[in-house]
Amino acid sequence: MSVQEKIVVCGAGGFIGGHLVADLRRQGFADIRAVDKKPFEEWYQKFDDVENLVLDLQEKEACEMALPGAQTVYNLAADMGGMGFIELNKALCMLSVLINTHLLMAARKHRVERFFYASSACVYAAGKQVDPNLTALTEADAYPAMPEDGYGWEKLFSERMCRHFSEDFGLYTRVARYHNVYGPFGTYDGGREKAPAAICRKVIEAKLSGKHEIEIWGDGCQTRSFQYIDDCVMGTQKIMHSKAVTMPINLGSSEMVTINQLVDIAEEIAGIKLHRNYNLKAPKGVNGRNSDNTLIQKLLGWEPSISLRDGLAKTYRWIYDEIKAKSA
């Protein structure tokens, strides 16, 4: 791998894509093409020393424009958000299948050397996630298939597309199943935010307003693991360049907490205690989900390790500064 190779990051205007581009720049990669359908002013991070393109990658022609000369392609592009978005926008989530399909076709056409697809823990069978005190999900738990409706089906289908492009056309593909990625420079309001950012925002708003109460979706007993963005970016690149990882693999923290415990941590960071109002009619997703990291430990000798307390503190500070700046 040379720092002179051309790397294309699809979805670069988004949360994870922006952090990936930033990390590649820090490593000295000099030929990066960043692609996203959002106008530049809506990109979370944008760098002037990178080739930045606004393209709708659901379109076949846009994918062919994005990949000429590329050796490495990271596909992080998708129309998605937190549970409040994916439960109410199943068709929009399914349409993201066009992005990966057209990118794979363009990657084959342009003889791309390495192709990464960002999948999700939402591919896992619903029957494996009914108990908050679940056994952590292994890669085999995706089948028999019954993933999250809409978003999860799109991810699982696209995983298979990567597999068959490898088997039939010899395209080098790698797939990671992301588990709840969070951190600075991401969505924290508007309906697409995920739980850590939403909880941080709600705690900050309660603190600044003096109205010391918070709404929690569900009963707060549902369990999750949350992966800090730096671990995600590192793991993504380790998986991309691993000869041992040939099938979809978990990329997530194994530190499982309840949503109530997530709120506890955010309150501790903020230095306040809030009255909790539970909205049992709000979208809450599955009852329990956690990442089994046995395979990634075996194949890479590594797993995400940044604690939720440390990562959430950094996320809280960034969101706090953003909200204060907007109100100034």
Q: Is the dihedral of CA 154, 147, 200, 183 positive or negative?
A: negative
Mark residue 72 as left, alpha or beta (left: phi above 0; alpha: psi -120 to 50; beta: remaining). Answer: beta
Answer yes or no: are the C-beta atoms of 34 and 52 closer than 8 Å: yes
Q: Is the dihedral of CA 154, 155, 160, 162 positive or negative?
A: positive
Instruction: Write out the two tokens for 68.
Output: 């000429």
Residue with tokens 């089994």: 292
Q: Is the dihedral of CA 201, 202, 207, 209 positive or negative?
A: positive
- b/e per residue 116-151 (b: at least 16 CB within 10 A): bbbbbbbbbbeebbeebebebbebebbeeebbbebb
ω into 144 cis (within 30 of 0): yes
Task: Please give the span between the terminal C-alpha atoms of the chain, in angstroms, as a whole number.
Answer: 46
Cβ of 112: how many Cβ atoms within 10 Å?
23
Q: Which residues, including other chains, have CB under 8 Å from residue 271's CB and lie 6 or more apart?
A: none
* Catalytic annotation, residues: 151
How far is Cα 11 from Cα 307, in angstroms, rounded to an integer?
Answer: 26
